[in-house]
Structure 1
Amino acid sequence: MKLKKLFVAGMAFLTLVTTFASAAQADTSSDVQKVIDESYVQPDYVMGYSLSEEERNQTLNLLSYDSSKDTNVKTLTTTAYANIMNVADDSSLQLYSSVKIAKLGAKETLSVEIVTPQNITKITPDMYRNAATTLGIEHAKITVAAPIPVTGESALAGIYYSLEQNGAKVSDESKELAQEELKTLSQINDENSGKSNYDADKLNVAMTDIKTAVADKGNKLTDDQAKTIVQRTINNYNLNLSDTQINLLVNFALNLSKSSIIDSASFKSSLSSLKASIVSKAGNTFSGINLNFDANQTLENSKNIFAQIWQAIVDFFTGLSR
């Protein structure tokens, strides 16, 4: 009886610990949006360190800076960049892309506008949006600008810097994931640019489906399941990617499955809003494509197919033995 009581007490304790751990994860993943809602009374500007005074003023103007009321202007230095991105501090780093972050109402979706698209050479607005969603941003308006041609990758570091300077607890895990996602999407997009039947909108929507499927599976996602989810998803969107590109998506899916961001109640709804927004602006791009595609359902279908094949084999040999 005493052992039984100890067992019951132990199970209760473990349940309590698990509950607190889940709550802590949820709080961490929702912290980013909470800070934006509460602290961004004015827009926040983060300027690249390498801008000359003339370029800085030009970029602020591009970001619709209003000197009569906007006071939150920060500079992303090479030291701050190194700390955020967990790399060596290199004074030769060139940081030109700059960002403006403004809060939006809870019913509005995440918005990204690149006001100098000719100067952001590798990153599209929806790539930023996908990465920002992984970071935990649900609704905000992000504006990106650069006075000269640059990749645009340092703008994401500017978003991190803004959030952290305003009190958000952005985990290294979330930053690394968002950065990995941005690099993966930009690399795949760059390598397929100009190819027939390829479209960046399809890649970004496919990524929202992959992330949703990963959130459904949680940290129980296996390597084979990740491969199946990615392969079936890109097939659904008619994306003919190389094995190397597929592996980048699979690795990201596996890393995402270990992250606490997928425990956030709002993560999947943010992805759904992002997907709907991309599709609505894409014209006929998604004509004939199943937009209700469920990557996890393909896993269940695979199980059923294997079960049917096995049963057919059993029935065949059973028939031979009669």
Structure 2
Amino acid sequence: MKKLLISFGVLALGLIGLGQQTVHADDSWSAPVATLGSSLTADQKSGTLSTLNDAAGTSNATELTVNGDTLVKYLNPSGSSFTSSSGVWSSALVQKTSNGGINVKIVPYNGQNNITTITADQYRNAALTAGVSNANLYITSAVRIDGSGALAGVYAAFANNGQTLNASQINAAQQEVNTLSGITQANQGKDGYTDKQLNNAVAGMKSDMASQSNNGNKMLDSAQIGKIVDSNLTQNNINTIINNNQRTQIINLLTTIQKSGALDSNSFKDQANKLANSIQNSAKNIFDKLSTSLNTQENRNFLQKIWDSIVSFFNSIVSWVQSLFN
């Protein structure tokens, strides 16, 4: 029974394989890419570039301008309504690495975090869905803005380095940003809910889907996806907070991600696991408390009932076999 409880705790937190990794630059990129919003003034552009370079510890980033046409190309297919004249202020620095998973840091501009909507973990989950792997992403803005321009800039940076991301996956990633940010805004301030728990749950769902679909070789139906969703929401202790409508939104999102072909990559599961582990490491106070709450007497009693049922089942088989010789 003790081993069963320990296994349950490990499953709940997804902490298998934790450990720090050394992150090396990817030689296929000659330099990091700074994607700068076209609406920045000269002073804001200079300040943005300096802010991003300082955060990344680099000084050799190449510059790429993100404008309304970039937003139209990458974001409109998923339902946005940008035009060529749309303004862009949020900016990113993309530093490709050879390992270490996807890491995001939202960097204050002059001491102010001006990204109002998309959280760091939402950027990371969206990047994973879009097909990004092993990259450090630094995000900032000189003015208060939702942060969509920076995400479009990330996609453009990969294309600029000969690694054009799949359009269907980008569309799914944009649906993911909209879905997760909407759920977080709806549950803002609720006791027992954090954006990290939601994004950790979604990363776990992606990993489970990759496993159960054999890296996309088998399509999962909505019932199978629903079980994966419920399991990960429970493991992150937000199953009673996420309402039925939000649960349906998550199932629809994962169905879209599956159809996009994101699961087909052999690295998808590994990147999803690294993302989940990193989220847990970045908020150990939250997930340590979660571990304690899951290891309650109620859960122990539940597990005991399962164990008793297993023992009873095998005892009945033994009794039946013995009866054959009586």
Does residue 97 of structure 1 match 2:97?
Answer: no
CA drift of 1:245 comes to 1.4
Other-structure match for 1:177:
172
**8 Å Cα contact 1:236-1:290 kept in structure 2:** no
What is the correspondence of 1:168-317 to structure 2 with a 5 Å cutoff?
Answer: 168-218=163-213, 219-239=218-238, 240-287=241-288, 289=290
**Pairwise CA RMSD of aligned residues?**
2.5
Aligned residues: 256
Other-structure match for 1:54:
43
**8 Å Cα contact 1:215-1:257 kept in structure 2:** no
Identity rate, percent: 30
After TM superposition, which residue ranges in structure 1, 4 or more long, deviate above 3 angstroms? Answer: 36-39, 86-89, 288-291
Inter-partner Cα distance in structure 2 for 1:195 and 1:165: 42
Other-structure match for 2:69:
79
Other-structure match for 1:111:
103
Inter-partner Cα distance in structure 2 for 1:69 and 1:205: 33
Inter-partner Cα distance in structure 2 for 1:154 and 1:187: 18
Inter-partner Cα distance in structure 1 for 2:185 and 2:29: 34
Secondary structure of the residue that 1:285 maps to in structure 2?
Answer: helix
Inter-partner Cα distance in structure 2 for 1:160 and 1:171: 10
Secondary structure of the residue that 2:284 maps to in structure 1?
Answer: coil
Please, which runs of 5 or more residues in structure 2 have no aligned partner? Answer: 1-24, 295-308, 310-326
CA drift of 1:93 comes to 1.7
Inter-partner Cα distance in structure 2 for 1:145 and 1:263: 32
Secondary structure of the residue that 1:225 maps to in structure 2?
Answer: helix
Other-structure match for 2:13:
none
Secondary structure of the residue that 1:204 maps to in structure 2?
Answer: helix
Inter-partner Cα distance in structure 2 for 1:189 and 1:89: 24
TM-score (norm 2): 0.72
Other-structure match for 2:16:
none
Inter-partner Cα distance in structure 2 for 1:194 and 1:156: 26
CA drift of 1:49 comes to 1.5
**8 Å Cα contact 2:130-2:166 kept in structure 1:** no
Please, which runs of 5 or more residues in structure 1 have no aligned partner? Answer: 1-35, 294-304, 306-322
**8 Å Cα contact 2:179-2:249 kept in structure 1:** yes
Inter-partner Cα distance in structure 1 for 2:51 and 2:106: 10
CA drift of 1:183 comes to 1.5
Secondary structure of the residue that 2:53 maps to in structure 1?
Answer: coil
CA drift of 1:289 comes to 4.2
